[in-house]
Amino acid sequence: MSTWPENRPFAATVSFDFDAEEVWIGENPANAHAPGVLSQGAYGAKVGVPLILEVLAHHEVRATFFVPGKDALRHPESVRSILAAGHEVAHHGHSHTSPTKLTPTEEREELETGLQVLRDLGADVTGYRSPSWEFTPETLDLLQEAGLLYSSNLLDHILPYRHPKHDLIEVPVSWILDDAPHFWFANDTWEKTIRSPREVLDVWLPEIDGIARLGGHVMLTMHPMLSGRPSRLAMLDEVLTHLKQQDAWIATTHEIAEYARASDPIALRRWRGGAA
Ligand code: ZN
């Protein structure tokens, strides 16, 4: 028996980390003065987001966009268009800096400032995804103090769950269903080759089907500057078609977290580390 709403066999969330220019500055502060490098991020705002919103609208799917505060300040019109289309906007740092590189005071400031910027643009922010999917010993305390509902950072499950010592839901992520390991290219190292959409679909669709068989939650993590390229928009279209064909409950991260807080799907399924 399904543990998901509407008796759906599994759940899925389409999420985007709208990093824009800030991720490149986070990678290397010298990039702040490198317009060519930064323009890779600007593509996400100028072209990626509008085209992604079209694909989502076509499928009537609502997504979650995790946005760094500084990128929201650079591209307020992008954030407004995301909100106007009915999508969720959530916290992704203020600058795109891993909390592990910040002092406790800086971490608090990043959290508070980023929250304020997004709220000033009209977002009802209830969740946080760290720029590095990494925590400090203080992070969960800070999220709870800020009154947030969920974190989407850890890679330890295929179902959402309650943090044992905090009033927070974790909505886990994975590298396999992230577009960056497959598509990220940086011209300072040339270490990574760019995969084709077909290769990535060969990785993603069996993983989605595997999670579906286990009644789990599919968390897709994409970046407008990567998945907003034309060939990959067609891939996104194919992934969304597949999720609908498999009868996924497609919900925002906020909705998944709310559902997990009310229903605790791991307990419902009596999860035994693999056998559902
Ligand atoms: Zn990011």
Structure token digits, residue 117: 């910027």
Rounded mean pLDDT of 179-205?
90
User: Tens digit of pLDDT for each residue in 113-123?
Assistant: 999 999 999 99
The alpha carbon of 107 and the centre of ligand 1 are apart by a number of angstroms equal to 16
How far apart (Å, rounded) are the C-alpha atoms in residues 210 and 208? 5
DSSP 175: S
Ligand 1 midpoint to CA 91 (Å): 10
For residue 175, report the distance from its CA to the centre of ligand 1, in Å.
13
Residue with token string 């600007």: 42
Mean pLDDT of 34-55: 96
Q: How confident is the model at residue 157 (pLDDT cuts 50, 70, 90)?
A: very high
248 CA → ligand 1 middle, Å: 26
How many Cβ atoms sit within 10 Å of the Cβ of residue 74? Answer: 17
| Residues bordering ligand 1, an ion, CB closer than 5 Å | 17, 19, 131
pLDDT at 47: 98
Buried b (16+ CB within 10 A) or exposed e, 29-67: eebeeeeebbebbbbbbbbbbebbbebbeebebbbbbbb
Residues 6+ apart with CB under 8 A from 232: 179, 183, 197, 226
Domains of the chain and CATH, by start: 11-270 (3.20.20.370)
Write the single-letter amino acid at 184: W
- 236 pLDDT band, cuts 50/70/90, is very high
Centre of ligand 1 to C-alpha 3, Å, is: 31
4-30 pLDDT tens trace: 999 999 999 999 999 999 999 988 899
| Cα 97 to averaged position of ligand 1 atoms, centre (Å) | 9
Residue 190 pLDDT > 90? no
Q: How far is the CA of 52 from the centre of ligand 1 (A)?
A: 17
Q: Are strands 169-170 and 161-162 parallel, antiparallel or unpaired?
A: antiparallel
Are the C-beta atoms of 83 and 14 separated by less than 8 Å? no
- What is the CA(274)–ligand 1 centre distance, in A? 30
